[in-house]
């Protein structure tokens, strides 16, 4: 589903060059999930920005579903890649209603038209999704998103990102701005969405317990390179205490 071949990123900071991501290669099969951890400046967010198209790599090739997207614009890549960020406001239009936000996401990649004829049908689909993941929102479709809590906004953002099943879902510390109880609820919703739709997922987190609990594979980054790639029984054996000892 996704393949990175010697992908790197160097930033020019005046006279100084900063190698944010050293040549990195890895691949994922369809339906796989990876969790990425590492300290500040390790290269985690740079990697996700390269995959999403927010940044262009200095070297290397990025392929999604066999297609070379290295030089594809972020706009075109958005048809294949969905992103959820740390800021609960980043993925929604706060001044629009829940229904309007979900409608935008539902029509992504589709020919627009017959909006009035299908609106009622869409609302039923949205209600069905919300009953599964956040029942208290199912009767608030006409409420403005700005009135929702941060956790509720992230639920809406997750639904928007997955209403039209993406080829790849990128989660960049999407629960770090939430309090622990709400963060746990959003993580459980995330897991249900990913498992239900078998979405290929890359998730950055700084919560070591979540890193051990979620995903099939763990990548640890340090100074722009992968220092640990664990899957299978090796991944299952990891604990937060073990991971702490591996930080450089």
Domains of the chain: 2-92+150-246 (3.40.50.300)
Tokens found for residue 84: 């959820």
Mean pLDDT by 10 residues, the chain (248 residues): 92 83 92 91 90 91 91 82 82 86 75 50 80 79 87 85 85 83 82 84 90 91 92 92 85
CB-based burial, 60-71: b 16+ in 10 Å, e otherwise: bebebeeeebbe
Residue 127: partners with Cβ closer than 8 Å, 6 or more residues away: 138, 141
Direct distance between the N- and C-terminal alpha carbons of the chain, in angstroms, rounded to an integer: 30
Tokens found for residue 30: 């369809």
The beta-strand segments (E) located in 157-234 are: 168-172, 201-204, 217-222, 225-231
Q: Are 193 and 160 in contact (CB under 8 A)?
A: no
**SS3 for 27-43, per residue?**
EECCCCEEEEEECCCCC
**Residue 84: HSE in the Cβ half-sphere, 13 Å Cα cutoff:** 30
Vertex 152, ends 37 and 194: CA angle to 5°?
Answer: 50
**Rounded Cα distance, 159 and 98, in Å:** 11
- pLDDT attached to residue 119: 66
**Rounded Cα distance, 220 and 211, in Å:** 10
Phi, psi dihedrals of residue 159, rounded to the nearest 5°: -65, -40
pLDDT in tens, 169-185: 999 888 887 788 888 88
Residue 79: partners with Cβ closer than 8 Å, 6 or more residues away: 108, 109
- pLDDT attached to residue 18: 86
**Rounded Cα distance, 60 and 164, in Å:** 29
């Amino acid at each position: 589903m996704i393949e990175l071949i010697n992908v790197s990123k160097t930033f020019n900071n005046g006279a100084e060059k900063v190698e944010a991501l050293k040549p990195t290669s890895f691949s994922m099969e369809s339906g796989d999930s990876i969790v990425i951890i590492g300290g500040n400046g390790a290269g985690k967010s740079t990697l996700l920005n390269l995959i999403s198209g927010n940044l262009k790599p200095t070297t290397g090739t990025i392929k999604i579903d066999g297609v070379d997207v290295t030089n594809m614009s972020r706009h075109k890549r958005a048809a294949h890649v969905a992103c959820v960020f740390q800021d609960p406001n980043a993925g929604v239009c706060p001044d629009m209603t829940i229904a309007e936000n979900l409608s935008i996401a539902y029509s992504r990649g589709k020919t627009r038209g017959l909006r009035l004829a299908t609106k009622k049908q869409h609302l039923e689909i949205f209600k069905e999704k919300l009953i599964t993941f956040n029942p208290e929102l199912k009767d608030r479709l006409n409420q403005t998103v700005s009135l929702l809590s941060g956790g509720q906004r992230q639920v809406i953002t997750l639904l928007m990102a997955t209403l039209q099943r993406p080829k790849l879902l990128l989660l960049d510390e999407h629960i770090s701005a939430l309090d622990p109880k709400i963060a746990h609820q959003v993580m459980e919703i995330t897991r249900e969405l990913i498992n239900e739709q078998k979405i290929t997922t890359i998730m950055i987190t700084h919560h070591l317990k979540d890193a051990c609990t979620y995903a099939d594979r763990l990548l640890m980054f340090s100074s722009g390179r992968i220092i640990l790639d664990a899957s299978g029984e090796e991944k299952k054996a990891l604990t937060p205490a073990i991971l702490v000892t591996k930080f450089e």
